[in-house]
Structure formats: C-alpha cells, structure tokens
Structure 1
Amino acid sequence: MGAEVLRALLGRVRYEVLPAKATQEKVLAHVPRDVVVTVTASPVKGLEPTLGLAERLAAHGYRVVPHVPARLLRDDTHLKEVIERLRTAGVDDVFVPAGDADAPAGVYDGALPVLRRLGELGRPFAHLGITGYPESHPLLHDDITIQAMWDKRAHATYIVSNLCFDARVLGDWIARIRRRDVTLPVHVGVAGPVQRAKLLSMATKIGVGESTRFLTRHPSWFLRFATPGGYVPEKLLDRAAEAFTAPSAGVVGLHVFTFNQIAETERWRRALLDRLG
C-alpha cells in the first residue's frame, strides 16, 4: 500500500474500548483528542457502564461513539432516556448493533427497529453506525447479514466491519455489498497489535458468561494471535491495499479493536506513522 494511503487511514482511526474500571485513565493518558473513541456494551453488565464512560470521555473533549445494542434496550422510554443522556453529553454519533444478549431485555430484538424509531424521533444523532460482517456471523448466514445492511442503509450513515484477518475475504465483501447498492462509507475493523496473554486476561475480566461467549464464537481469533508471525496489523493493511483504494470501495478509515490494550495500540500507530515519514 502506498505510504500516503496508509498514512491517511492511520490518521482517521477509531479506537474501540471496553468500559472497564481503568479504561478512562488509559484513554486520557494515551489517546489524542483527535482520535475517535468507541465504547462497547456488554450483555452481562448492561448499558450503564457504556453510557457513564461515554459521558466522562466526552466531558474531557473526546469525540465518543457509544454502542447502543438493540437487545439491551428495555422499551421506548429507555431509548428516550439514553438519547437524552447522550445528547446532553454532546454525543452526536452512536453505533447500533443488534447485540449479543441471548434474550432481548425488552421490545427490540434487532437493530433495524431501533434505527427506524430514531428516525421517528427526529434523528437525534447526526451519525449512526451499523455492523458489517466480512467473515461469517456465528449465528447468521452471509446473505442475511448483507440483506440487513441493505435494509438499514436508509437509516444509518456508515458501516463498521467486524474483525477480518483475510485480505481477500475483506476485498470480496466490500465488492459484494457495493454490488447490492449498499453505498454507506465503511470503517474497516482491524485488530491492533494484540498480545495473546493480555487478550486472554481481558476476556477473563469481562466476566465468565461474556468470556465464554467471546471464546466460543471467535476461536479463530485466538489462533491468529497465538501463532508466531500470524498477525501483524500492517501486513493485513498492505495486502488489502487494492480493496481499500478501489474507486468504489468507499473505505473512509480504520476501526481498531484495542481489546483495551490502549497504550500499545497508540504506540504502534505512532511508530508506523513515523516509519511512513
């Protein structure tokens, strides 16, 4: 990949973090204010840790994108309360996945009804993100996930792709959604420079139920991180150069899954930018 293209992508990153006890301290210590911070939500802990961290980081001057999974919303009143809190905090961008909760907390069992309801409420957020799945979803057929993106395209403003470690698969997926007239800009999801031992430690800290779900649904991720030389972020970026730079690709930046290895991720990004001049 040309240095100019890679440098531009590294300058338009989003760091995904988990709302753990030390996350705020790590973000304040290591993440520049021009880096967008997205905050995940846990089906075990609910939305409160996500909303609280988003409010605090926004107060420190970050552009924050909280995850608002549909299956964690109890009802319409709860949705309106979430909207009010985030708007009061100055948040204008939310990411709306269906969520991994085994049973919905209330009336919303998928992202589309929430997106429609946000439209009925006057589109309170300027930016709305939805999920894309370059690699197969553990529970849904690929055709269903692409159809879902097509259904949501009128309500959302961008797509964040889930983790993918195969440049060919990533390129095929981007081409496939464009053939289906899904024209939303894409933030490509990539893992940062994750150390396996720290990743396992992070998974344990999330909680027993969440860790089990994470491990059983994504076993290949751990194999990628565990194999010597098996995963280096810049290698994936280089191999996916053609997919990212094709005129029709619509790739606007990188969504970096930090797994809360926030200092390590920012050091990697800065070092790579330095090497690129």
Structure 2
Amino acid sequence: MAMMTSPLGIEISPATTSLANQRFIEASGIGTTIRPDFVSVTWSAGGKDNPGKPYDLIQQLERNQLQVLPHLTGLYKTPTAITQELHELTRLGVKRVLALRGDVNHHQRPTGYFPHATNLIRYIKQHSQLKIAAAAYPERHPESDSWGTELFYLRAKVQAGATELFTQFCFDVPTIFRWLDRIHIADIRVPVVVGVLPLTSQTRIQQAEIMLGHPLPMELKNRLAVAQTESELRAIGIQVALEQIYSLQRVGVGVQIYTFNDVQLLQTIWKTIK
C-alpha cells in the first residue's frame, strides 16, 4: 500500500548552553542529513521551566530553515510573561506554537490566569499572529471522567483557535484509529499529529507507564520481555516504533517522534523511514 503524504517531525529539548545545542544539532544531523517537516521544542517539564531556555535552540534551528514548533505552557505564567514569550518567538521567526496548560508542580502555585490550555489558546489567538496547535489524548486525558468531557474540552480548544492537534503517545494503534473516528464524529476536523515514543530501555518503559497512568498493553509487554539485554530491548523498542510510524503514515496521519535528544535513536529511525 502506498503511503499518503503526512508530516513527520521530531521532538527535542534545549540544552543548558548554546554550545551544547550546537553540538547536538551537528552530531544528530538535524538540518543537514535529517530534515524533518517540523521540530517540536519542549519548554518545561514537571511544571518547572527548563534551565536551558529554548530561544537559542530555536534560533539555531531557524537558521537551518526548519519549521520550529515551540511548546508554550501557561499554568504558572502571567499574561505579561506570555506576551514577552510570544514577542520573542515571533522575532526569532517562529510561525506556530503548541499551547499547553503545563504539568502540575505541587511545589508551585498557579497564577490563575491560564488554568486550562483553552485559556492560553484564546490569549495567543488575541495577541499574536502565530498558528496554534493543541494537545490531544487518544486514551483520554487522565483528568477526564468520560469521553463526553474529553471531546467537549477538545472541541473548545479548536473553537478557541487551535488549528491542529498533537497527541500524547499511545502504543495501541487500533485505539488511535478509534479516537480518530470519535473526533471525526464529534465534528472536530483539524489535522492530527500522533506522538510516537520509542521504548529504548527499562527506564523509558517505566516513564511511559507513569505518563500514561496505566501499564503497557500486554501484547507489547510480552514482545519486549523477549529481550535478554538492554541492547536487544532497544532494538525491539525501535522496531515497534517504526511499525507504528508506518501504520499511521499509511492512513495519512502525521507523526511526531519523541527523541529525548538521543542522537543514535534519531539517526537509526530516520535512516530507516527515509
């Protein structure tokens, strides 16, 4: 079956120094041998700002004429801070952002201005010309009590100004397809990019289960359990990710690969799919 054209991008994170960003870009080949349709750049994790503010990394990627998609979180930000960030991103040449509520940090008090992603999306729409992407969850957001609630808030994001959806990773492709049917029936008609997370180690498996809030599918766990060494586990995890990418591309769904700034992982996957 011929694959339909769909965007293929990667997610990376800023380092703490400009030199470290430069070395990562050069070592990985991003912008030269590896030219994704977009590069998603994380901003914070666990409710804390990354000490390596993304501006330098974004600037280096823009110089390589790549489409950069910075993450922008609102839960602990003021309107003034968001406005400053929007101005800086626009100055750097950014055309679109991924608007997120942000992870909850129990040691920090939300400002109250952007309690939900919808509030942030609406503010960005009113105060910039940037295109806006929003997050989506094929297995429902952990805080959603029903699909009715999930689809209500997802539709609200689109109505507020989001023009594309980026999903949390999900290891069950049929579940992703059922979710695509759900949003279609709910008349949510915007492009979708699905996150793919390669399970390259036991640590990554544990992280994935914590982020998902439930164990991996039993079929996948059994497949990974065959590995006798970390290198075998890594190889199986990459193969699973490749199979998922192919399945999504066949139906024209966009893909974002979580790289964790793993140069070897990125090069291995890119060499295979390109």
Structure 1 residue 262: Cα displacement: 3.5
Equivalent residue number for residue 208 of structure 1: none
- 1:50 and 1:140 map into 2 onto residues whose CA distance is 30
C-alpha distance after superposition, 1:43-99 (max 9, x if no partner): 2235862334323332343321110012142x1111110011001100111000111
Question: 2:182 & 2:51 partners in 1: Cα distance?
Answer: 33
**Secondary structure in 2 matching 1:160:** strand
Three-state SS of the structure 2 residue aligned to 1:94 is: strand
Q: State the alpha-carbon separation in 2 of the partners of residues 54 and 80 from structure 1.
A: 18
Change (3 A) 1:271 1:86: same
Instruction: Classify 1:27/1:147 alpha carbon distance in 2 versus 1 (closer, same or farther; 3 Å).
Output: farther
Inter-CA distance 29–168: structure 2 relative to 1 (3 Å threshold): same
Q: Would you say 1:50 and 2:54 are equivalent positions? A: yes
Assess, with a 3 A threshold, how the Cα gap between structure 1 residues 81 and 132 changes in structure 2: closer, same or farther: same
2-structure distance, mates of 1:85, 1:97: 18
The AA in structure 2 aligned to 1:16 is E
The answer for unaligned runs of 5 or more in structure 1 is 204-210, 246-250
2:210 counterpart of 1:216: yes
List per-residue Cα deviations over 1:152-185 (Å, max 9, x = no partner): 2130110011101101100100000010010010
1:87 counterpart = 2:93: no
What is the deviation of 1:221? Answer: 5.5
Contact 1:59/1:89, CA 8 A, preserved across alignment: no
Tell me what 2:152 maps to.
147
Contact preservation (8 Å) 2:12, 2:261: yes
Q: Is the 8 A contact 1:96 1:111 kept in 2?
A: yes
* Residue aligning to 1:257: 258
How far apart are residue 198 of structure 1 and its match? Answer: 7.0
Distance in structure 1 (CA, Å) of the matches to 2:272 and 2:247: 19
Match of 2:43 in 1: 41
Contact in 2 for aligned 1:67/1:95 (Cα 8 Å):
yes
| Contact 1:47–1:72 (CA under 8 A) maintained in structure 2 | no
Give the counterpart of 1:128 among 132, 137, 142. Answer: 132
CA pair 100-164 structure 1, distance change in 2 beyond 3 A: same
> Which residue does 1:112 correspond to in 2?
118
- In the alignment, the residues of structure 2 paired with residue 156 and residue 19 of structure 1 have an alpha-carbon distance, to the nearest angstrom, of 25
Q: Which moved more, 1:254-263 or 1:82-91?
A: 254-263
The number of aligned residues is 246
1: distance between equivalents of 2:65 and 2:162?
25
DSSP-derived class of the 1:128 partner: strand
More deviation, 14-23/64-73: 14-23
Pair 133,84 (structure 1): closer, same or farther in 2 beyond 3 Å: same
In structure 2, runs of 5+ residues without a counterpart are 227-235
What's the TM-score, normalizing by structure 1?
A: 0.76
Residues 166 and 192 of structure 2 are in contact (CA less than 8 Å); yes or no, is this contact kept in structure 1? yes
Q: In structure 2, what is the equivalent of residue 137 of structure 1?
A: 141
RMSD: 2.9
| Percentage of matched positions with identical amino acids | 22
1:143–1:63 distance in 2 versus 1, CA, 3 Å: same
Change beyond 3 A, Cα 1:233–1:112: same
1:183-212, Cα deviation, whole Å (9 max, x unpaired): 0100121124x4215748xx9xxxxxxx7x
Aligned to 2:233: none
Cα distance in 2, alignment partners of residues 146 and 77 from structure 1: 30
Offset at residue 27 of structure 1 (A): 2.8
Report the equivalent of 1:170.
Answer: 176
